[in-house]
């Protein structure tokens, strides 16, 4: 994964069409909003993504998929969705006949990502899928192939890669503003409540590593612009209170990248870790406080002695607005997303290696 200054510019403006587009994509390039079907009405969709769309100039909610009709009808009233555009999981495939759906946002338990991505692609709809991409490498590859075959876009929802503060951190590294990066450390975790579906390995695919540890992994990769070459990992359970019968409680791992940069990361379902990354470089440092939906804070010391103190410029739920706008631009301009299926697969490949090193395995 190599991020250049051109990647940053692309986030601010659409590029010109480089080749003829399908009629569906041509219609979007003429200014009509991208019409979203929300698959899964949970905390992230109802609390973040859906409220972010009305703040967007590029998208709107036009359909809902839920196993709870009453909940869906309530959300339909809020967003002006027609009752006939409310679907259950059983009749999901009927979205292919709804011309008022251009794309789906998949916010389901991890084990369901592959199935509904593939079914959405077969219905001719573009896909924005929450991370982690899936619970097996085979499923990740099947998702990529299904979207390729259907000629639809697939993007994995790595919202931090579209956040101004994270982009600024990447820019400081790429331009040499802090000198040569030597090491990175990162952590993210929380004390999980009993009964969460994330504690069910069949549904989640793993423990905190696939849920919030993936932020630390992905950050290490986009900050270096590289994929880990060598890694060593450990997993543990400290609180034997019944929550961790199927998944690990905590993970710690180290990585060495081809450039020689080393990274140390940790994640937990038993400790309160306000997610962060710290970049240690030869002539300065960068610190990002938070991977959360709001409140990210970037500070840095540059080689020239200048300091940066940048509070979060995007209040929730505008992080999701930026992500949706970027995806809409990719659809309009027939451009592959920066965080496409291949990017999701790279993370899941690294996660599989981390688990293997720790004596565990990805998936049920």
Q: What is the DSSP letter of 302?
A: -
Rounded distance, CA 331 to CA 290, Å? 30
Give 13's contacts (C-beta < 8 A, 6+ positions apart): none
The pair phi, psi for residue 235, each rounded to 5°, is: -135, 150
131 catalytic, yes or no?
yes
Please give the C-alpha separations between residue 345 and each of 159, 199, 217, in angstroms, as whole numbers.
16, 23, 13
283-316: burial string, b at 16+ Cβ within 10 Å, e else: ebebbbbbbebeebebebbbeeeeebeeebebeb
283 is catalytic: no
Q: Name the catalytic one among 215, 222, 326, 355.
A: 215
Residue written as tokens 């998208």? 59
* Strand 181-191 to 230-236 pairing: unpaired
Backbone angles phi, psi at 350, to 5 degrees: -65, -40
Query: Which one from 28, 125, 131, 201 is the annotated catalytic residue?
Result: 131
Q: How many CA atoms lie within 13 A of 148 on its CB side?
A: 9
| Residues marked as catalytic | 131, 215
């Amino acid at each position: 994964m190599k991020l250049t200054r051109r990647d940053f510019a692309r986030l601010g403006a659409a590029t010109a069409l480089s080749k003829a587009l399908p009629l569906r994509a041509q219609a979007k390039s003429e200014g009509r909003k991208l019409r979203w079907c929300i698959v899964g009405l949970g905390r992230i969709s109802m609390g973040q993504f859906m409220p972010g769309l009305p703040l967007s100039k590029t998208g709107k909610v036009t359909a809902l998929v839920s196993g709870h009709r009453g909940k869906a009808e309530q959300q339909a009233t809020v967003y002006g969705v027609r009752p006939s555009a409310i679907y259950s999981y059983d009749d999901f495939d009927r979205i292919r006949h709804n011309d008022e759906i251009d794309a789906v946002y998949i916010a389901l338990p991890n084990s369901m990502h592959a199935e509904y991505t593939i079914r959405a692609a077969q219905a001719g709809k573009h896909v924005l899928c929450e991370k982690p991409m899936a619970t097996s490498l085979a499923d990740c590859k099947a998702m990529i192939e299904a979207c390729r075959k259907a000629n639809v876009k697939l993007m994995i929802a790595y919202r931090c890669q579209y956040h101004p503060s994270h982009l600024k951190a990447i820019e400081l590294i790429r331009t040499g503003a802090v000198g040569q990066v030597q090491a990175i450390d990162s952590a993210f975790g929380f004390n999980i409540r009993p009964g969460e579906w994330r504690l069910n390995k069949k549904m989640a695919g793993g423990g905190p590593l696939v849920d919030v540890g993936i932020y630390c992994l992905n950050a290490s990769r986009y900050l270096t612009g590289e994929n880990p070459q060598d890694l060593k990992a450990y997993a543990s359970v400290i609180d034997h209170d019944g929550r961790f019968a199927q998944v690990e409680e905590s993970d710690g791992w180290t990585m060495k990248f081809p450039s020689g940069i080393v990274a140390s990361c940790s994640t937990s379902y038993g400790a309160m870790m306000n997610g962060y990354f710290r970049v240690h470089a030869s002539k300065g440092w960068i610190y990002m406080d938070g991977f959360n939906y709001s409140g990210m804070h970037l500070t840095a010391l540059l080689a020239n002695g200048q300091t940066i103190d940048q509070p979060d410029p995007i209040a929730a739920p505008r992080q999701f607005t930026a992500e949706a706008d970027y995806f809409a631009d990719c659809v309009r301009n027939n451009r592959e997303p920066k965080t496409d299926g291949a990017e999701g697969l790279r993370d899941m490949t690294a996660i599989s290696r981390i688990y293997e090193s720790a004596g565990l395995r990805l998936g049920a």
